Structure 1
Amino acid sequence: MDFEASELIEAKRQIDSTIHKLKETVKTLETKENPNRYKSQITLAKRRIDAFSISVALIEKEINDLNKKLLNQ
């Protein structure tokens, strides 16, 4: 599936925003009075951060590949 650079850039921006919000959520939950009570939520948020970070890396690679293709035309 092919995407335009503008679509990839917007997707990356949205994912970066979600990662930021998830990191803030983890910080908040970890500083609660009894963080063990939120262990599953913290774990889920961290796993989502990892998954979204992989997505960002792949999007960045695709953007770089598109830029290289444009330069070689």
Structure 2
Amino acid sequence: METLRVVSSVISRCEKAQSKFAEGTTNYKRFRNIIKAMYISKSLITDEINRRN
């Protein structure tokens, strides 16, 4: 459960940072990729938690 909080925090911080860059820039794309990875991680962690319960 603590991991989900951390992943959600990373998503939030990356989305905030991404908003400071124009779409299509290198930094925007970098944050987009990190955000995608974090959403996938969050989904997999949630699935594992549900499987264990």
Do the structures match in fold with TM over 0.5?
yes
> Where do residues 35-54 of structure 1 align in structure 2 (5 Å cutoff)?
39-54=25-40
Q: Which amino acid is the alignment partner of residue 45 of structure 1?
A: F
Percent identity, aligned pairs only, is 26
* Candidates 1, 5, 15, aligned match of 1:23: 15
In structure 2, the partner of 1:64 is 50
In structure 2, the partner of 1:11 is 3
Q: Cα deviations across residues 10-52 of structure 1 (Å, max 9, x unaligned)?
A: 111101000000000111223xxxx66xx11110000000001
In structure 2, the partner of 1:71 is none
Q: Which amino acid is the alignment partner of residue 42 of structure 1?
A: Y
**Structure 2: which 5+ residue stretches go unaligned?**
none
Bigger-Rg structure (1/2): 1
Aligned length: 53
